[in-house]
Every structure is written in C-alpha cells, then in structure tokens.
C-alpha cells in the first residue's frame, strides 16, 4: 500500500529528481479514481466553476462551493496530498481575510495545503498564510483569475515579460510557498525558473522541464468539450462512451427491455 504523501515528501521529490504528478478532482468518486491512479497531489481546483458548474471563467466560484468540493474529495481519504484552490476574492482583500479563508479550507474542508494565484503582488498573502503553518502552493504566469487584466487566456512571459515572471517566482519562494504552478509560459522560461528555484515547479502549458505536471481531469478524459487548450493531452474519450450508455438505457426503457425480472423484487 502506498504511503500518505506529505509536504516534506513533495520537497524531497524535487531534490531526488522524481517528477511530481498532479490532477484535479472535485468530488468523491473522481478523488478515489485519481488517487487509485497514483497521483502525488489532488488539486481541488476552482476550475470546478468551469468544468463542473458550467461558468465561462473561474471568477464566480465561492468559498462555500470550494468547501463543498474539498470536503467531498477528503471523504475519499486519498493518499495524495489534497490542495484546495482559493477562489477569487477569498484572499486578495488582505492577509486577515486570506488567513481566515485558507484556515477554513484546512479546518472545515480537511485540505492539507492551499493554492493562491499571484506573484510579487501576492507575496504578502503567501507569507502571512505560510507563517500560520498553512502550506501554500503559488500559481504564476497565466493566472485564470486575472483573465480580465490579461485580456483572455493568453501565454504570459514572452519577451520582456519574462523577467517579471522570473521575479514572481523568486518572490513566492521567498514568501514561503512550498511549490509553484507555472501556467501558460514559454518552455524555456519554465526551464530557467525550475533550475533557479529550490521549491518544486508544477507545469501546465509550461513545457517538459518542470518538476511536475498538473492537468484538469475533465480535459484528459474528454469530458469537457468547451475548451481544448494546446497543452492538454486527452488520455481517454469518455464523453461519447457516456452518451452511448445513456442512449442504450433510453432505448431499452422505451422498448420495455429494461427493467427485466432480474432487476425486480418478488
């Protein structure tokens, strides 16, 4: 049986050159399946707002919604480290709000770490939350909660922007983040950051050199038709399988083929 994954283990993995695997999950059945697949971390992402709730962005997601998802994932008792994504406006308003809301994810939700978006601009928040012993994973580059500032989901850190992303990486490390997600940045920049930092980098659309990778579970299983970013690899196409099963059920009920005696009580 595999061991429970802890923060020191995640740090050790970078040290040993072992790659860190991360996937999202938002509910009990997927948390069990993802954990059985052997990931090191389950990110209860605010991407739930898009792939589960059907919003166009992650901005409408609330603390209560995230707590619901985190609790459901924790009930699966995964060996993977459970990281709760902090929703928009739960930490940007100041260190007091950030500590209180991150604390709720740990205390009420049962998460083992939290994730916040932002670099230099959120270093004070990462420092305050880390100082009360809540492990923080930072998230820099293409940060989906900044969709309006960025003018869409665009690759960040090209040309003269690269220096700023590098400074963001140093800032979140000095503030106490235990790891940093690098999203939507050029592969060369991600490689440079990964070589410079002592904390693990977890890439998504950031090339192959990061210490680990994260993807959204619905994307790799073909369950989200809405968006298909270039960085996603589809490992299964479950959408048509599910629709076919539903069609068969509908036909059988309509034809009187289901239920039979085998599915009935005497």
**Active site amino acids:** 183
User: If binding is defined by CB under 6 A, does position 46 make contact with ligand KIV?
Assistant: yes
User: If binding is defined by CB under 6 A, does position 219 make contact with ligand KIV?
Assistant: no
User: Which span sits near ligand KIV by CB under 6 A: 39-47, 67-75, 123-131, 161-169?
Assistant: 39-47
User: If binding is defined by CB under 6 A, does position 214 make contact with ligand KIV?
Assistant: yes
Max distance between CA atoms of the chain, in angstroms, equals 75
Within 183-202, the residues that bind ligand KIV by CB under 6 A are 183
Token code pair at residue 7? 């923060």
Comparing CB distances to ligand KIV, the nearer of 45 and 176 is 45
> Minimum distance between the CB of residue 71 and ligand KIV, rounded to whole angstroms?
17
User: If binding is defined by CB under 6 A, does position 21 make contact with ligand KIV?
Assistant: no
Q: Which residue is nearest to ligand KIV (CB)?
A: 45
Contact 50, 9 (CB under 8 A): no
User: If binding is defined by CB under 6 A, does position 213 make contact with ligand KIV?
Assistant: no
User: If binding is defined by CB under 6 A, does position 101 make contact with ligand KIV?
Assistant: no
Contact 205, 230 (CB under 8 A): yes
163-168 contacts at long range (C-beta below 8 A, 24 or more positions apart): 164/119, 165/119, 165/140, 165/141, 165/189, 165/193, 166/192, 166/193, 166/196, 167/119, 167/120, 168/118, 168/119, 168/120, 168/140, 168/141
Within 56-95, the residues that bind ligand KIV by CB under 6 A are 85
Cα–Cα distance between 185 and 14 in angstroms, integer?
20
> Minimum distance between the CB of residue 264 and ligand KIV, rounded to whole angstroms?
43
Within 120-149, the residues that bind ligand KIV by CB under 6 A are none
> Other CB atoms closer than 10 Å to residue 12's CB: what's the count?
12
Q: Considering CB under 6 A, how many residues would be counted as binding ligand KIV?
A: 11
Q: How many alpha carbons lie under 13 Å from residue 219 in its C-beta half-sphere?
A: 18
User: Which span sits near ligand KIV by CB under 6 A: 44-52, 184-192, 247-255, 256-264?
Assistant: 44-52
Comparing CB distances to ligand KIV, the nearer of 121 and 131 is 121
Q: What are the helix (H) ranges across 59-209?
A: 63-74, 95-107, 123-131, 147-150, 162-175, 187-196
* Percentages of the chain per state (helix, strand, coil), in multiples of 5: 45, 15, 40
> Minimum distance between the CB of residue 108 and ligand KIV, rounded to whole angstroms?
20
Comparing CB distances to ligand KIV, the nearer of 43 and 171 is 43
Binding site residues, ligand KIV, CB under 6 A: 24, 43, 45-47, 85, 181, 183, 204, 214, 216
């Amino acid at each position: 049986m595999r061991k429970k994954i802890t923060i020191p283990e995640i740090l050790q993995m970078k040290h040993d050159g072992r790659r860190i695997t991360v996937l999202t999950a938002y509910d009990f059945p997927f948390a069990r399946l993802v954990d059985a697949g052997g990931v090191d971390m389950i990110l209860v992402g605010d991407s739930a707002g898009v792939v589960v709730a059907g919003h166009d962005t992650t901005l409408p997601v609330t603390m209560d919604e995230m707590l619901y998802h985190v609790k459901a994932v924790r009930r699966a008792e995964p060996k993977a480290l459970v990281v709760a994504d902090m929703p928009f406006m739960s930490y940007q308003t100041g260190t007091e709000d950030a500590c209180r809301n991150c604390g709720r994810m740990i205390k009420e939700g049962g998460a083992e770490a939290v994730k916040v978006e932002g670099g230099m601009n959120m270093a004070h928040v990462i420092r305050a939350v880390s100082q009360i012993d809540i492990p923080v994973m930072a998230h820099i580059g293409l940060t989906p909660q900044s969709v309006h500032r960025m003018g869409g989901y665009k690759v960040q850190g090209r040309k003269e922007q690269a220096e700023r992303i590098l400074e963001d990486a140093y800032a979140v490390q000095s503030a106490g983040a235990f790891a940093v997600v690098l999203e939507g940045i050029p592969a060369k920049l991600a490689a440079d950051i990964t070589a410079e930092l002592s904390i693990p980098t977890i890439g998504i659309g950031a090339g192959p050199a990061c210490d680990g990778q994260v993807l959204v579970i619905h994307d790799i299983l073909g369950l989200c038709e809405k968006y298909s970013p270039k960085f996603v690899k589809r490992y299964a196409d479950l959408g048509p399988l599910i629709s076919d099963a539903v069609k068969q059920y509908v036909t059988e009920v309509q034809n009187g083929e289901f239920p039979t005696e085998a599915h009935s009580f005497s």
